[in-house]
């Protein structure tokens, strides 16, 4: 047996590179990433290929490894080339963010030391860091002390946590579901629908509140619905509002909704995955007023703080409610349960072991401070307004509502022919060109183009480039 153990040890040492080997690996990886970053303002935002990265499959996972440079080639050809380039400032579709460099350094350190961020006993420092970041978010959105939260992988899990906390805080049991009512608009993000289902609340009554012309919840209608549902013997318990919808960037009237929630004793959940960090600038703060009245709030650092993917957050005003939904007990965790003067992320979220994701946010904030984030978010807001104005100077374009935040909807109306068809062709042309990437949506059965400005690398010249490209492609389609 000893011989076998020694033999296995030798092979297992393949998991522990020597310092020379580490230096080699690092050199190759740094060279590739430096090259990528040096060219990032020239790289296309979207690449259409016929192979769609299939070359990756020609190199199967096997018993023996291959060298780092061949691996980097595989990534470069098959992963980092085809499709959308979310690191590009030309990414103006869906909800971009960019992925700031400093976070990569945080991830690197977090992975090297592998601190156990889920449990205070195991890593008091990592847990303090997470809570410090959440306290900072609570402060900027106007939540009081005593609120709690969790750094999640994204807004979807954050919405799930908020909705589960609401369900339990209102004491809902399965037998109550079919009489209990959730209020939201048809513009909520699909992750909210998904979270409702995962939380077992699909059998609740879901009342879609009518919207105004800007796709915002109509608060008067909401109030009427709640009153009439109560009269009918139903149990209204949850309002879900959006602080920036994904489709049009609309911000629901949060202040009025907050008052209605309070008066009628409903849980008020705000999905600010896209929009909440606009609170960092004065203009955004005004638009988001009332967000602080919510009981739970979702905000995505991988959107509004431009972090690489994998960073969401949920805040819950009454920390105890989070604990009541997500506490756990396990015999093998008894050492960890004692000696904690701080709640652990594992006590207040679905995860036990978690990525030390605090470091990818804390490091950049410490290194450059809040100021550049504040400036960048205001810049995005103003760029959207700039585009809104400029696109109306181009003959034939029709715009949606004035942007609440940084999403603009617009479409081209051709002199003859079907407008939907034309805009579909237009977006195809823009995507095939690839210098910028825009996405589209259906609004009132109209094929509508969207501009979403939220990459930290999107600047004035990116928006001017989009305007040029749109002009160019319209002429091109007209000639055919």
Ligand X SMILES: *Cc1c(COP(=O)(O)O)cnc(C)c1O
Q: Return residues touching ligand X (CB under 6 A).
A: 95, 154-156, 159, 189, 191, 242, 246, 271, 273-274, 300, 312
The interaxial angle of helices 359-368 and 124-141, nearest 10 deg, is: 60
Q: 255 vs 11, 78, 364, 368, CA distance in Å?
A: 63, 48, 32, 33
CB nearer to ligand X: pick between 219 and 298:
298
In angstroms, rounded to a whole number, what is the distance separating the alpha carbons of residues 183 and 177? 14
Residue, CB closest to ligand X: 155
Least distance from ligand X to the Cβ atom of residue 315, Å: 15
Least distance from ligand X to the Cβ atom of residue 428, Å: 24
Least distance from ligand X to the Cβ atom of residue 6, Å: 47
Per the document, the length of the chain is 480
Full DSSP string of 9-25: HHHHGGGS--HHHHHHH
CB nearer to ligand X: pick between 191 and 440:
191
In angstroms, rounded to a whole number, what is the distance separating the alpha carbons of residues 365 and 250? 28
CB nearer to ligand X: pick between 191 and 455:
191
Least distance from ligand X to the Cβ atom of residue 158, Å: 7
Q: 7 vs 3, 10, 402, CA distance in Å?
A: 6, 5, 69
User: Which two tokens mark 444?
Assistant: 């009132």
* Torsion sign across C-alpha atoms 199, 205, 209, 215: positive
In angstroms, rounded to a whole number, what is the distance separating the alpha carbons of residues 249 and 405? 6
Least distance from ligand X to the Cβ atom of residue 273, Å: 4
Which helix H or strand E contains 184, and what residues bound it? Answer: strand 180-184
Residue reference for tokens 């690092």? 26
Least distance from ligand X to the Cβ atom of residue 432, Å: 26
Least distance from ligand X to the Cβ atom of residue 285, Å: 18
In angstroms, rounded to a whole number, what is the distance separating the alpha carbons of residues 27 and 20? 11
CB nearer to ligand X: pick between 246 and 423:
246
CB nearer to ligand X: pick between 138 and 243:
243
Least distance from ligand X to the Cβ atom of residue 190, Å: 8
Q: What are phi and psi of 237, to 5 degrees?
A: -135, -15
Q: Dihedral (C-alpha) 363, 366, 370, 375: value to the nearest 10 degrees? A: -70
CB nearer to ligand X: pick between 253 and 434:
253
User: Which two tokens mark 397?
Assistant: 């374009």
Least distance from ligand X to the Cβ atom of residue 178, Å: 27
CB nearer to ligand X: pick between 86 and 364:
86
CB nearer to ligand X: pick between 87 and 226:
87
CB nearer to ligand X: pick between 252 and 347:
252
In angstroms, rounded to a whole number, what is the distance separating the alpha carbons of residues 180 and 175? 10
């Amino acid at each position: 047996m000893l011989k076998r153990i020694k033999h296995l040890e030798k092979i297992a040492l393949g998991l522990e590179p020597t310092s020379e080997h580490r230096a080699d690996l690092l050199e190759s990886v740094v060279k590739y990433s430096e090259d990528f970053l040096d060219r990032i303002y020239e790289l296309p935002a979207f690449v259409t290929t016929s192979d769609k990265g299939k070359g990756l499959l020609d190199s199967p996972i096997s018993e023996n490894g291959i060298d780092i440079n061949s691996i980097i080639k595989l990534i470069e050809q098959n992963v980092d080339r085809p499709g959308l380039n979310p690191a590009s400032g030309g990414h103006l579709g869906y909800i971009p963010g960019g992925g700031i460099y400093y976070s990569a350094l945080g991830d690197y350190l977090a992975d090297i030391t592998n601190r156990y961020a889920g449990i205070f006993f195991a890593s008091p420092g990592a847990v303090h860091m997470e809570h410090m970041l959440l306290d900072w978010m609570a402060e900027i959105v106007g939540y009081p002390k005593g609120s709690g939260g969790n750094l999640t992988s994204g807004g979807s899990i954050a919405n799930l946590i908020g909705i589960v906390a609401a369900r339990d805080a209102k004491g809902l049991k399965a037998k109550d579901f079919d009489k209990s009512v959730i209020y939201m608009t048809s513009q909520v993000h699909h992750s909210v629908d998904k979270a409702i289902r995962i939380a077992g609340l699909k059998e609740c009554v879901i009342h879609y509140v009518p919207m105004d012309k800007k796709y915002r919840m109509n608060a008067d209608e909401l109030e009427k619905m709640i009153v009439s549902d109560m009269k009918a013997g139903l149990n209204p318990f949850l309002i879900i509002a959006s602080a920036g919808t994904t489709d049009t960037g609309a911000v629901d009237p949060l202040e009025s909704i907050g008052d209605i929630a309070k008066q009628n004793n409903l849980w008020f959940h705000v999905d600010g995955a896209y929009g909440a960090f606009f609170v960092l600038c004065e203009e955004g703060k005004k638009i988001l007023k009332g967000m602080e009245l919510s009981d739970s709030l979702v905000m995505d650092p991988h959107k509004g703080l431009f972090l690489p993917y994998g960073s969401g957050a949920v805040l819950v005003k009454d920390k105890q409610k989070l604990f009541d939904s997500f506490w756990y007990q396990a015999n093998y965790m008894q050492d960890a349960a004692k000696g904690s003067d701080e709640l652990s992320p594992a006590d207040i979220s679905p995860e036990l072991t978690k990525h030390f994701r605090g470091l990818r946010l804390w490091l950049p904030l410490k290194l450059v401070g809040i100021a550049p984030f504040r400036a960048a978010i205001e810049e995005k807001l103003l760029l959207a307004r700039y585009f809104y104005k400029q696109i109306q100077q181009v003959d034939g374009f029709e715009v949606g509502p004035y942007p609440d935040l940084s999403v603009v909807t617009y479409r081209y109306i051709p002199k003859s022919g079907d407008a939907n068809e034309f805009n579909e062709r237009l977006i195809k042309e823009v995507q095939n060109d690839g210098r910028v990437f825009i996405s589209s949506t259906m609004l009132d059965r109209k094929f509508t183009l969207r501009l979403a400005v939220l990459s930290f690398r999107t600047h004035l010249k990116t928006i001017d480039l989009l305007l040029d490209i749109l002009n160019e492609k319209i002429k091109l389609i007209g000639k055919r």
